[in-house]
Structure 1
Amino acid sequence: MAPPTAPTLAPPDAPPPSTDLADAEPDTGRKRGLTGYLLLLPAAVWLALFFVVPFYSLAATSLYDPSGSDFRGYEMTYAFGNYVDAVQEYWTPLLRALAYGAAATLICLVLGYVLAYAIAFKAGRWKNLMLVLVIAPFFTSFLLRTLSWKLILADDGYVVDTLQFLHLLGEDGRLLATPVAVVAGLAYNFLPFMVLPLYASIDKIDPRLIEASSDLYAHPAVGFLKVTWPLSLPGVVSGTLLTFIPAAGDYINAQLLGSPNQRVIGSVIQSQFTDAGDYPSAAALSMVLMVLIVALVLVYVRRAGTEELL
């Protein structure tokens, strides 16, 4: 048997062995940081190409000399008066678009909340089927769905005939080419945008919390206001934003289901860009609409108490 080897002693002035992982691998943290930035790079490039650049182009166009044209060209004169002129001339369709969007959002909230609640708590094994039925209209063209409402609300359609039979509509009354038709089309087309966020939020609620409110002798309405509604508020905020923002800028429903009396700001912008060729005015109206919607969204989110959604 070999004799035991004596332990090797380090010199008194030698530094202790390093146990810091950062000293052993100094570039690990830096590599991890670079990996995160590289993963964000495709999304950043996408946003730069399809959001920042078009937004800058739109903002620049809104400040062009309004006396220009396609033949003479446009000169950048920083004409901020384009905004004043556009708002003064088209404030009525601008407010009308916001009003139609708000009305459609409120209708979608009432209908969508009931539907989402039923799917989450009452559908049982039919839950997946009902969710598919909610998104099924998306498999059809938006334009085709709107044209279908034009047939449904026609003057000789069964809806108008039924309302006239029940004396809810006059003999010469009509639904088509009225604000009712425009708001109904908006509510129908954007209802899935409300239902899905509401369902995602309501489905996370523990049913035992609702049962506990019943055990504490709370009226069902009180239990809903104290338990279900606050817990579903993130879905309410998300759904209303996803519904109101596109509904306020939509012009297809107003164009197909309404009349010139229901003209909205989207129709004005479209005609200014394509028919009149007044690019500065159209761009200024687009910027005003975006600023108004962003301002309304910020106020709404803060009033709703869900700033963390921003």
Structure 2
Amino acid sequence: MPAWAVLGVMVLVPVLLMLVYSFLTKEFRGGVIWEPSLAAYDQFFCSRGLFGDEPCTIEWTYIAIFWRSIWQAGLATLLSLLIGLPTAYYIATRPAKTRPLWVFLITIPYWVNLLIRTVSMKFMLRDNGPLNDVLLGLGVIDSPLTIVNTNFAVQMGLFYSYLPFMVLPIYASVERYDFNLSEAAADLYASKLTTLRRILLPAVKPGVIAGCILVFVPSLGSFLAPDLLGGARNFMIGSLIEEQFKGNAGNWPFGAAASMILLTMVLVLLLIFARQQAKAQKGAG
């Protein structure tokens, strides 16, 4: 009961509040007027011209922001998997007495606030930052690279922020893996690639899936990396939602509507995944 009470107060009530706000009317000075309206959803999906009196045409601006968010989150997930899987495997194959040290090193960044870490990343990537200084000193480039305020900078920020979310669940799966299976495969003349594809990856699949979800979902709604590293031209859906709740110029119903659309999309993806997993387990049974 205490757990359900905490979930209800901390999760369900805020979500229901956002749902209600998404169907209310914007107040001129910020906030809402308690009059039911579909204007927020209409604004998201429809473009009605400068004065709002034209027939509805598709509003591609917000759809483009959603699409940018999806592919940025997807790419961050892929990069985290490519780095996180071998990292987790390496840690899990170290002597038992040194594994806690490696896990400790992975979690050290989380001792510092995400805002500070993102600002530090911006300092690293700026035109006169350490990265460009090193590349110039090595003679790799002739002039500083403009990295900040690009999609690449946003991607680096997402990757850096959420990589441990990929490493830790995969590490937990690999640590439980029976390495005698790999030895048996080698005795049967299986190549390392075959062993990886046919034995190791299926065994650690739950950890891979958990890591992908833990990276993709927060990356999709992230706003610090896009705001600080991407600028106005590289908006993501989290930045769009954040802007609607700042100052008197905000539009709370529209921000709530965008939040509900994002939440619905994530829930649909998770439900599809859960259904596929259930079918796979049923088939295996």
Alignment TM-score, normalising by the size of structure 2: 0.85
The offset of 1:84, in angstroms, is 3.5
Match of 1:80 in 2: 38
1:248 and 2:220 matched: yes
The offset of 1:114, in angstroms, is 0.8
Which letter maps to 2:41? Y
Q: Which deviations, in whole Å up to 9, do the C-alpha atoms of 1:202-241 show, x marking residues without a partner?
A: 1111010010110000010001100000000000000010
Q: 1:294 aligns with which of 255, 267, 272?
A: 267
The offset of 1:143, in angstroms, is 0.9
Structure 1: runs of 5+ lacking an equivalent: 1-40
Task: Provide the C-alpha distance between the structure 1 equivalents of 2:232 and 2:31, rounded to a whole number of angstroms.
Answer: 32
The offset of 1:124, in angstroms, is 4.6
Alpha carbons of 1:183 and 1:305: their partners in 2 closer, same or farther (altered >3 Å)? farther
Which letter maps to 2:85? Y
What SS does the corresponding residue of 1:125 show, helix, strand or coil? coil
Match of 1:280 in 2: 253
Task: Provide the C-alpha distance between the structure 2 equivalents of 1:271 and 1:225, rounded to a whole number of angstroms.
Answer: 44
Within-5 A mapping of 1:1-310: 41-66=1-26, 68-69=27-28, 74-77=33-36, 79-87=37-45, 88=59, 89-163=61-135, 171=143, 173-275=145-247, 276-303=249-276
Which letter maps to 1:131? V
Alpha carbons of 1:71 and 1:82: their partners in 2 closer, same or farther (altered >3 Å)? closer
- Kindly indicate whether the alpha-carbon contact (under 8 Å) linking 2:22 and 2:252 is maintained by their aligned counterparts in 1: yes
Task: Provide the C-alpha distance between the structure 2 equivalents of 1:241 and 1:138, rounded to a whole number of angstroms.
Answer: 19
Structure 2: runs of 5+ lacking an equivalent: 46-58
Task: Provide the C-alpha distance between the structure 2 equivalents of 1:124 and 1:303, rounded to a whole number of angstroms.
Answer: 35
What SS does the corresponding residue of 1:273 show, helix, strand or coil? coil
Report the more deviating stretch, 269-278 or 133-142: 269-278
Task: Provide the C-alpha distance between the structure 1 equivalents of 2:279 and 2:76, rounded to a whole number of angstroms.
Answer: 22
Task: Provide the C-alpha distance between the structure 2 equivalents of 1:292 and 1:82, rounded to a whole number of angstroms.
Answer: 17
Which letter maps to 1:238? A
Match of 1:33 in 2: none
Match of 2:48 in 1: none
- Kindly indicate whether the alpha-carbon contact (under 8 Å) linking 1:202 and 1:232 is maintained by their aligned counterparts in 2: yes
Task: Provide the C-alpha distance between the structure 1 equivalents of 2:268 and 2:134, rounded to a whole number of angstroms.
Answer: 42
Identity %: 32
Alignment TM-score, normalising by the size of structure 1: 0.79
- Kindly indicate whether the alpha-carbon contact (under 8 Å) linking 1:237 and 1:301 is maintained by their aligned counterparts in 2: no
The offset of 1:72, in angstroms, is 9.5
Q: Which deviations, in whole Å up to 9, do the C-alpha atoms of 1:12-61 show, x marking residues without a partner?
A: xxxxxxxxxxxxxxxxxxxxxxxxxxxxx111211221222211111111
Q: Which deviations, in whole Å up to 9, do the C-alpha atoms of 1:73-115 show, x marking residues without a partner?
A: 51332x3352242143522222211221111111111111011
- Kindly indicate whether the alpha-carbon contact (under 8 Å) linking 1:153 and 1:159 is maintained by their aligned counterparts in 2: yes
Alpha carbons of 1:173 and 1:71: their partners in 2 closer, same or farther (altered >3 Å)? closer
- Kindly indicate whether the alpha-carbon contact (under 8 Å) linking 2:22 and 2:40 is maintained by their aligned counterparts in 1: yes
Alpha carbons of 1:214 and 1:114: their partners in 2 closer, same or farther (altered >3 Å)? same
The offset of 1:158, in angstroms, is 3.5
Alpha carbons of 1:187 and 1:65: their partners in 2 closer, same or farther (altered >3 Å)? same
The offset of 1:141, in angstroms, is 1.2
State the superposition RMSD in angstroms.
2.3
